[in-house]
Amino acid sequence: MQNLDIIRINNASFYAYHGVEQDEQNLGGKFEVDVELGCDISEAESNDSLKKTVDYEKVYALLHRVVTEKKYFLIESLANHIAANILETFLQVRSVVVKIRKPHPPVKGVVDFVEVEIKRMR
């Protein structure tokens, strides 16, 4: 049985235009993304080789592209697209957890952020 190790990218921040309200779509706002990649990194550990692991600089570039290239009404949909793109692009990733936070959402009350978390597996 293969190992299931974890690589995390925490609090990647982007300015984007997601939301249901017209102001959110026009003015934009900050979005914070965490990803947790489940994969076997034992070969990378023993060989000290970037080629044997998930290059998190490339994961970050994918996050940036997916978060900023298209507007989504729901961060749930955005999280799903991030997870699908990661699984499609990085074949050694067997599971992915994506968390998206939207600071200061437009609700009638004081809220630090709303957050969606999804988990997808191969």
Stated pTM of the model: 0.94
How would you classify the pairing of strands 29-39 and 93-103? antiparallel
Per-residue pLDDT of the chain (122 residues; tens, 9 = 90+): 578 999 999 999 999 999 999 999 999 999 999 999 999 999 998 999 999 999 999 999 999 999 999 999 999 999 999 999 999 999 999 999 999 999 998 889 999 999 999 999 99
The domain tally of the chain equals: 1
Which residues carry out catalysis?
102
Domain hosting residue 78, numbered range: 5-121
107's CB contacts (< 8 A; 6+ apart) are: 114
CATH number at residue 75: 3.30.1130.10
Residue 10's pLDDT is what? 98
